[in-house]
Amino acid sequence: MNYGFLIRNDRCIGCHACSTACKSENEVPLGVNRTWVKYVETGAYPDVTRHFQVTRCNHCANPPCVRICPVTAMYQRDDGIVEFDPDVCIGCKACMQACPYDAIYVDPDSGTAAKCHFCAHRVEVGLEPACVVVCPEHAIIAGDLDDPISEISRMIAASKVTVRKPEQGTSPKLFYTEGQEVTLTPTAVDRTPETFMWSDVMPLHGGDGHGDGHSAGHGDGGSPIPSPTVSASGRKSASGASLRKPQAQGVPDAGPIMIGKGRMADHMVQVAYNAQHLIPWHWPVPAYLVTKGIGAGIFLLLAIGYLLGLFTFSATAFVALGAVGIAALLATTGLLVYDLEKPARFLRIILRPQWRSWLVRGAFLLIGFSTIGGIWWAAEAAVSFGWIDPIGDTVRVALAWIIIPLAIGAAIYTAFLFGQAEGRDLWQSSLLPIHLIVQAFMAGSAAVLVTAMAVELPADLARVATITFGVSVVADLLVTFLGEFGMPHASEAAARAAHTITHGRYRKHYLASMIAGHLVPLALLAVGGPVAGAAAGVLAIVGLYLYEYAFVMAPQEIPNS
């Protein structure tokens, strides 16, 4: 048994009966949709038409939402249905980042992830899904793709069908006849036009109380696609034809599907209705990246410096800096839990882990790192208070060797988690592990420089921190400019997200991070002295937050439906 859907666009009349039948059958609250009909209008009057697309979970054969779910709240059944269990879900919203189709939402009543579950509760007793039964046009066909004589198999075999975004490697099991590229391709239309037919456009960032600083309603956000221009290069070919300037790579003017000038009233490609999706992750995620970097960076600096003999071991310094590192790790955990829609269920990550999820792997890395770091720090603190005998170098060396891989793991696992986010191409960067290590050194050494204002650190330690800081700031700039944003991006979604950071909504964050978070600190280092060093550290940490904020937010603005 292998359930799938076929949507017959040749029959669909865009009446939304499926949307309301689903709402009624599954008591889906207001404001969220398990299935909806996207409307896209194309053409120039009088040659215009409206395309409909029933849009919902694809019940992928290779579902990324299942892989990323830390607690098996999202799972794939033997019969191919991708189902969810609200009683298990912790509300981490990772599945929403993993889904490249905007199929998943957080139920406002339960605070847990939900989506189309193929009416599994009906299918089990032989009833077709509610949307199939209600459809006046038999435009939705549900059935067994493994059975060659099922209606869906026969029809797919005999028709031209398309799926959404096969390039994501998810193997969607929702097929469309007469699929339309402008409807299938989310970036072909504005994510948030000024209005929809018969519906208001919600602010993309919502008002969920987490307060991201700019949640005011707007129709300007979404994917900031440059206004269509054909820019002449001023050059001519041998024949005398005027030549156009090459466009930015991956960010074509007027979107990935250019029909005429596209998107203009006189030649339009516009979305007339779509379900609206709020951005799932806000400031706690970039903040967690920063605190995690500080914690990992401090311990890396202390352990590596100690092992290499770059500075003499100072118990006072270790206890002070370790305290900062542990505080940062506690803050990291606090932010992670705070960002859950069901924070009370956070222990389930440990108690019912789904090991393919990097949320789980990362949680255990963080636990291991915090435990060893905590033991080491507690031991050193106890020694300095005279509660226990001094620990020998052997123990210290062992602890340092153990903590280094854990700290590195804690710093970079997020890269692998982001890599599982199939819906955010920009995050799926092979540079990201390196970048996170560099950022950990940068943030950790910055924290050391700041701490030096309160606690007197040995001079050699301060010097090592200063050098590490300077080097990591430069490295971070290189990784950012020569890597993340210098290299072209493999997909249009990634390119567009990067464009949003460098030229769009997050441009200020990006510039502030680069200038105030990197160049100014380097200048302050050149000035020298502890105060300048501390100021440089503070600026670098703030700059890192601004960068991470842009990096976390921008890809979420690129539409997936």
Residues binding other proteins (CB under 8 A): 11, 13-17, 19-21, 23-27, 41, 45-46, 48-52, 83, 85-88, 110, 117, 119-122, 124-128, 130, 132-138, 141, 151, 209, 211, 334, 337-338, 342-348, 351-352
Q: How far is the CB of 446 from other proteins (least distance, A)?
A: 25
Q: How far is the CB of 83 from other proteins (least distance, A)?
A: 6
* Helix/strand/coil for 353: coil
Sign of CA dihedral 63, 64, 70, 73: negative
Q: Is the CB of 306 or the CB of 346 nearer to other proteins?
A: 346
| Strand ranges for 374-477 from DSSP E | none
Q: How far is the CB of 137 from other proteins (least distance, A)?
A: 5
Q: How far is CA 262 from the centre of its chain?
A: 29
Q: How far is the CB of 531 from other proteins (least distance, A)?
A: 30
Q: Is the CB of 20 or the CB of 162 nearer to other proteins?
A: 20
* Helix/strand/coil for 243: strand
Q: How far is CA 409 from the centre of its chain?
A: 19
Structure tokens at 103: 């199929």
Q: Is the CB of 336 or the CB of 479 nearer to other proteins?
A: 336
Q: Is the CB of 125 or the CB of 149 nearer to other proteins?
A: 125
Structure tokens at 546: 């601004």
Q: Is the CB of 19 or the CB of 429 nearer to other proteins?
A: 19
* β-strands 161-162, 174-177 pairing: antiparallel
* Longest distance between any two alpha carbons in the chain, whole Å: 88
Q: How far is the CB of 343 from other proteins (least distance, A)?
A: 5
Encode 8-54 in three state secondary structure: ECCCCCCCCHHHHHHHHHHCCCCCCCCEEEEEEEEEECCEEEEEEEE
Q: Is the CB of 122 or the CB of 499 nearer to other proteins?
A: 122
Question: Which residues are 461's β-sheet partners?
Answer: none
533 vs 536: CA distance, rounded Å: 5
Q: Is the CB of 110 or the CB of 502 nearer to other proteins?
A: 110
Q: What are phi and psi of 8, to 5 degrees?
A: -90, 95
Peptide bond into 172 cis (omega under 30): no
* β-strands 74-76, 82-84 pairing: antiparallel
Q: How far is the CB of 20 from other proteins (least distance, A)?
A: 4
Q: Is the CB of 11 or the CB of 218 nearer to other proteins?
A: 11
